[in-house]
Amino acid sequence: MQPNGDANQRIATISAHLNPRNLQMEESSGLQQVNCRAKGGSSGFRVAILGAAGGIGQPLAMLMKMNPLVSVLHLYDVVNSPGVTADISHMDTGAVVRGFLGQNQLENALTGMDLVIIPAGVPRKPGMTRDDLFNINAGIVKTLCEGVAKCCPEAIVNLISNPVNSTVPIAAEVFKKAGTYDPKRLLGVTMLDVVRANTFVAEVLGTDPREVDVPVVGGHAGVTILPLLSQVKPPCSFTREETDYLTTRIQNGGTEVVEAKAGAGSATLSMAYAAVKFADACLRGLRGDAGVVQCAFVASQVTELPFFASKVRLGRTGIEDIHPLGPLNEYERIGLDKAKKELASSIEKGISFIKK
């Protein structure tokens, strides 16, 4: 049997969770309110999700609540964030969840954050290209990044909002205008392309996708997505037909989901999974773990373009190293030329949006 003091301590802890200022109980029982976790959270990182009530945001928020590296999780959206917050806050994991609703609460949502994940924006629908998303999502990203520049300029930013090939340059220009731009801390999330590549290659090889690593470089739309199948780990070779099939399917993975959902949505669940996988890598880098390498769309000198997706090593300051492309075969060199032409116009579109 536990000593009476321990029982009282447990009762006080439960009371503090249910009613942080239960004065009546304190006076009647003599129990002193303990410091409740809801006041601050466990040791770890502070993460904000902007667009937390959306199709990507909700599963993303749930998965981040499960991440042991997260101590405080801020959920922001212009609609429905109180309900998502209440729902996810009931999960018995270590992170404390706080919700923020509407533009007037954006600054509170961002203050003090270590990592900001931005899935906000409208999803792609059947027949809609990523360029069709631009006019809506560009303005959303601009507003949110202005908040980041003001309230947590040293945070790592994971940008998911499409079209990533244009929204990352938009974010960079916003941060430049604010005088807070650090290219090491701005990362466009292309992890879904890697996740798909690993899955589709594993299907062809007849192996576990968790044992496959496919570098995917370039950008995050159509022909800008370039899987380097010659650099797959474990090493393997593909016929020309297999290479064509895999490259096309990886490039069109988003369209495959949009069409399969027949107007009911886009790739939200797999994107949330990929986003959490990438966010976890960023947090492990911030923690100081060695050898954390993932692909991302970042400011780069790997090519003549100002932004390019390739493997990056993550650390305490964000990006610590950008890997070169390595040896490419002829198929990949042709694909790279196509990717760069498309990327150049998408990047310029984002830069021009802020400068116009």
Distance from C-alpha of 288 to C-alpha of 307, rounded to nearest angstrom: 26
Q: Which residues of 233-253 are buried (b: 16+ CB within 10 A; e: fewer)?
A: eeeeebeeeebeebbebbbbb
User: Do both 172 and 203 map to the same domain?
Assistant: no
Band of residue 265 on the pLDDT scale cut at 50, 70, 90: confident
Is 54 labeled as ligand-binding? yes
Residue 27 lies in a domain: no
Is 193 labeled as ligand-binding? no
Of 189, 205, 233, the last residue of a domain is: 189
Domain that holds residue 341: 190-355
Q: Report pTM.
A: 0.88
User: Do both 136 and 234 map to the same domain?
Assistant: no
User: Do both 152 and 276 map to the same domain?
Assistant: no
Say what the pLDDT of residue 355 is. 87
Say what the pLDDT of residue 230 is. 97
Is 46 labeled as ligand-binding? no
Does the pLDDT value for residue 17 go beyond 60?
no
User: Do both 241 and 158 map to the same domain?
Assistant: no
Does the pLDDT value for residue 5 go beyond 70?
no
**Total H helices, total E strands in the chain:** 12, 11
Q: Which CATH number fits the domain that encloses residue 56? A: 3.40.50.720
Residue 25 lies in a domain: no
Contact 316, 115 (CB under 8 A): no
Active site residue 90: no
Q: Which CATH number fits the domain that encloses residue 305? A: 3.90.110.10
User: Do both 217 and 170 map to the same domain?
Assistant: no
The region of weakest confidence among 30-44, 92-106, 116-130, 183-197 is 30-44
Ramachandran region, residue 130 (left: φ > 0; alpha: ψ -120 to 50; beta: rest): alpha
Mean pLDDT of 171-181: 98
Does the pLDDT value for residue 29 go beyond 80?
no
User: Do both 143 and 253 map to the same domain?
Assistant: no
The residue with tokens 């492309």 is 325
For 147-165, how does the pLDDT look when each residue is reduced to its tens digit (9 = 90+)? Answer: 999 999 999 999 999 999 9
Contact 143, 50 (CB under 8 A): no
Is 162 labeled as ligand-binding? yes
For 315-353, the DSSP string reads ETTEEEEE-------HHHHHHHHHHHHHHHHHHHHHHHH
